[in-house]
A and B are shown apart, each in its own frame.
Chain A
Amino acid sequence: MPSVRSPAFRLAELGVYGFDRHETTILAALVTEDPLLLVGRSGTGKTFLLNTLSEALGLEHRHYNASLISFDDLVGFPYPDEAHATVRFLETPATVWGAESVLIDEISRCKPEHQNRLFSLVHERRLQGLPLKRLRYRWAAMNPCTSDQGGAEDYAGSEALDPALADRFSLIVTAADWSDLTLAQQQAIVAPSGEGLVTPRNGALCDAVDAWRALFTEQVNACPPQVTNYVTTVVSALNGARIRISPRRARLLARSLVAATIVAGRASSATFKSVLECSLPHTTWGQTFEPAVIAAAHRAGWDAAREQAGAWIHALLAEQSLPRKLNLLLDHCTDPDEGSQAIAQLIATESPDRAAAFAFVTYPAALGGTLPIGAEGVNDLAKLAVPLLDAEGELSWQERLSEQGTSHPVIAEIGKVLAPLRGTRLARARQFLTACVVRGIALPSAATLEPQLHECVLLLRKQGLARAGARP
């Protein structure tokens, strides 16, 4: 499979380099708003990445060092309220109550009692049982734990995380060290400009995250079968290989995959593998395993996902109703190439009038870039649709000598279909049906085709796709 497709926004635009391999995964964590943990050796840019993201997103951010923190730093100084009925906390710029993002640095050096308190912050967005209503992002960073270290560098005091706490982090991204970077990345990192500067709010990132988040909210409630198939297969394979994956983690993996697919613009093997690798918390408590086991589980999962992915095309081709065909395309197609393939097969297998109707009604949206199909698919639709948007020709028919002013018999039939219609529905139907007659496309069932055309328009309108825009 090709490498992970670049998302619409690149971290390099924020001056962050070296995270390319897991860029889509990191951006997916911004979309899910699930907890993110970065693991890496000192100086690999973990803290820089998370602080930069908070600045670029314009978030009210708190950065705590878990090895130094006291609980009062987080909650503020407690005092009784006026009625002496409850305790309030005196807020300072450092307390967590108004925060939108929190970075808990050096979380593996945290005292055990603080780990327990952070647990509810990471897991539930709560402290002392009180909700942190504005908190969106919970991030943490740590060095590799002492049982997971090789080589001369020793991170004394970086302890293994409690598996219960680690399992609350949806994504665990390992930061690349110098030797893992390309020459271009190394050169970008050593460029001394920008040191110590605050990153300005980045409108492109904010807009991208908002748009991705809107899609995510929609899709996560109807998780694509491709994702559920992948997750169930992978989790069963890993548990079978004695790498325990909890049911909760399986669900977190599915959420991250949905988000990563949105960020990348398509489902790909490389994206899914990156998310899977970053969904395994085991290294944070020192457990290691063979990469081949993960690769094998991913392969099995991806095969299952692809099988599922192809299934919707069969369903689309077997479906009789044009609006339901369109619905299948919109609901299940995550890969533009797959979408183009579906369009080509649909056009090849449908009768000329139905293929023309589908192309006629979907082409303007496809041209506007709002359908999940690639350039080849748009072109295939264009070949059928454009001649129907602008048709001119001569129609001939036989008229009895005893009759005057008759119409072409098919035009007369069309007239009966058009008679009850009004407004733009009438205009679209008249254009399609008349153009079909001019272009010589037989219309054996105009009366049943017109309502399907209209339903397709309503579906595109309902899904907000009946508009022109830049192609993604």
Chain B
Amino acid sequence: MIVFAVPVGDPVYRCWSSPCAGYSANSGGPMSRRRTERVVASVLRDDTSRIRLPQVIRAGLHFGDRDPLQAVLECLARLGLDDAELLRRRFNAPTTPLLVRTVPDARWGVQVARGTNELILQQALLLGLCTAWQYDPSRPVLWTRASLTRRVELYEPAGFYA
């Protein structure tokens, strides 16, 4: 058996490893190219799908440089409230569990620097009832940096079994 040792960087090596090498110097391997395709599979975003999960609501807050938790607690205090649970009676949040789609780069939502206390807390209530997967009105309102900085779309699961 004869073994050719071709050092990396050698003009011969560069020729064999270039995209057009298959034609000029057949190395014996399959002559193929790599293809890449972007795929979207979503029953939440596809309006043409036969199964539709209707979007109920969007929620999100943009805090800028401010600390999310501090900003929301200050809004709460300005309304004279000391417990996030009290917001349930103030706002009509959905009463059934919903599916959550997190949209990290969403541009919609309320700018905390410009929004009213009511508007900010309404969004904060919804976000406090969401996990990364679902909106659950039966759980306590939990405000964390993660929950307050999510931008979410909430969907009804009803249509899945259509």
Contact A461 B161 (CB under 8 A): yes
Q: Provide the residues of chain B in CB contact with A386, threshold 8 Å.
A: 99-101, 132-134
Contact B51 A379 (CB under 8 A): no
Complex Cα distance, B40 from A393, in Å, reads 7
User: B44 at interface (Cβ–Cβ under 8 A)?
Assistant: yes
Interface readout for B31-57 with A: 1 if CB under 8 Å, 0 if not? 111111111111111000111010000
Nearest CB on A from B122, distance (A): 21
User: A431 at interface (Cβ–Cβ under 8 A)?
Assistant: yes
Q: A438-B39, A467-B158 are in contact. Are A400 and B97 (CB under 8 A)?
A: no
User: A333 at interface (Cβ–Cβ under 8 A)?
Assistant: no
Q: Provide the residues of chain B in CB contact with A461, threshold 8 Å.
A: 161
Nearest CB on A from B93, distance (A): 13
Select one of B30, B35, B44, B50 contacting A423, CB under 8 A.
Answer: B50
| CB closest residue in chain A, given B132 | A386
Contact A364 B99 (CB under 8 A): yes
Stretch from A182-190, A276-284, A401-409 at the B interface: A401-409
Q: A368-B157, A408-B37 are in contact. Are A431 and B51 (CB under 8 A)?
A: yes
User: A382 at interface (Cβ–Cβ under 8 A)?
Assistant: yes
User: B24 at interface (Cβ–Cβ under 8 A)?
Assistant: no
User: B131 at interface (Cβ–Cβ under 8 A)?
Assistant: yes
Q: Provide the residues of chain A in CB contact with B96, threshold 8 Å.
A: 368, 468-471
User: A445 at interface (Cβ–Cβ under 8 A)?
Assistant: no
Interface readout for A382-413 with B: 1 if CB under 8 Å, 0 if not? 11001001111111111111100010100100
User: B22 at interface (Cβ–Cβ under 8 A)?
Assistant: yes
Contact A427 B49 (CB under 8 A): yes
Interface readout for B85-101 with A: 1 if CB under 8 Å, 0 if not? 00000000001111111
* Residues from 433 to 462 in A contacting B, C-beta threshold 8 Å: 434-435, 437-438, 457, 460-461
User: A375 at interface (Cβ–Cβ under 8 A)?
Assistant: yes
Contact B50 A426 (CB under 8 A): yes
User: A430 at interface (Cβ–Cβ under 8 A)?
Assistant: yes
Contact B39 A394 (CB under 8 A): yes
Complex Cα distance, B160 from A460, in Å, reads 11
Q: Provide the residues of chain B in CB contact with A382, threshold 8 Å.
A: 131, 133-134
Contact B31 A390 (CB under 8 A): no
| CB closest residue in chain B, given A425 | B50
Contact B35 A397 (CB under 8 A): yes
Q: A390-B101, A395-B36, A424-B51 are in contact. Are A402 and B42 (CB under 8 A)?
A: no
Complex Cα distance, B50 from A375, in Å, reads 29
Complex Cα distance, B100 from A382, in Å, reads 10
Complex Cα distance, B156 from A407, in Å, reads 33
User: A126 at interface (Cβ–Cβ under 8 A)?
Assistant: no
* Residues from 68 to 110 in B contacting A, C-beta threshold 8 Å: 95-101
Q: A378-B134, A390-B101 are in contact. Are A399 and B32 (CB under 8 A)?
A: yes
Q: A423-B50, A424-B162 are in contact. Are A434 and B39 (CB under 8 A)?
A: yes
Q: Provide the residues of chain B in CB contact with A471, threshold 8 Å.
A: 96-97, 136, 138
User: A21 at interface (Cβ–Cβ under 8 A)?
Assistant: no
Q: Provide the residues of chain B in CB contact with A427, threshold 8 Å.
A: 43, 49-51
Complex Cα distance, B101 from A469, in Å, reads 19
Complex Cα distance, B97 from A411, in Å, reads 33
Contact A394 B38 (CB under 8 A): yes
Complex Cα distance, B98 from A30, in Å, reads 34
User: A369 at interface (Cβ–Cβ under 8 A)?
Assistant: yes
Q: Provide the residues of chain B in CB contact with A460, threshold 8 Å.
A: 161
Complex Cα distance, B50 from A427, in Å, reads 6
User: A346 at interface (Cβ–Cβ under 8 A)?
Assistant: no
Q: A367-B99, A408-B37, A424-B162 are in contact. Are A383 and B43 (CB under 8 A)?
A: no
Q: Provide the residues of chain A in CB contact with B133, threshold 8 Å.
A: 379, 382-383, 386
Interface readout for B134-162 with A: 1 if CB under 8 Å, 0 if not? 10101100000000000000001110111
Complex Cα distance, B2 from A391, in Å, reads 51
Q: A367-B157, A401-B31, A402-B31 are in contact. Are A424 and B100 (CB under 8 A)?
A: no
| CB closest residue in chain B, given A398 | B32
| CB closest residue in chain A, given B44 | A390
| CB closest residue in chain A, given B22 | A401
Q: Provide the residues of chain B in CB contact with A56, threshold 8 Å.
A: none
Residues of B within 8 A of A (CB): 22, 30-45, 49-51, 53, 95-101, 131-134, 136, 138-139, 156-158, 160-162
11 contacts across the A-B interface (CB closer than 8 A): A367-B134, A375-B138, A375-B139, A379-B131, A386-B132, A392-B38, A394-B37, A394-B39, A396-B34, A467-B158, A471-B136
Residues of A within 8 A of B (CB): 363-365, 367-369, 375, 378-379, 382-383, 386, 389-402, 406, 408, 411, 423-424, 426-428, 430-431, 434-435, 437-438, 457, 460-461, 466-471
Query: Which 7 residue pairs are nearest across A and B when measured between Cβ atoms?
Result: A466-B161, A382-B133, A364-B157, A468-B158, A364-B160, A434-B41, A427-B50
A379-B133, A398-B30, A431-B41 provided; 13 other pairs, C-beta below 8 A? A369-B97, A379-B134, A386-B133, A389-B99, A391-B41, A392-B41, A398-B32, A399-B33, A400-B32, A427-B49, A428-B51, A434-B39, A468-B156
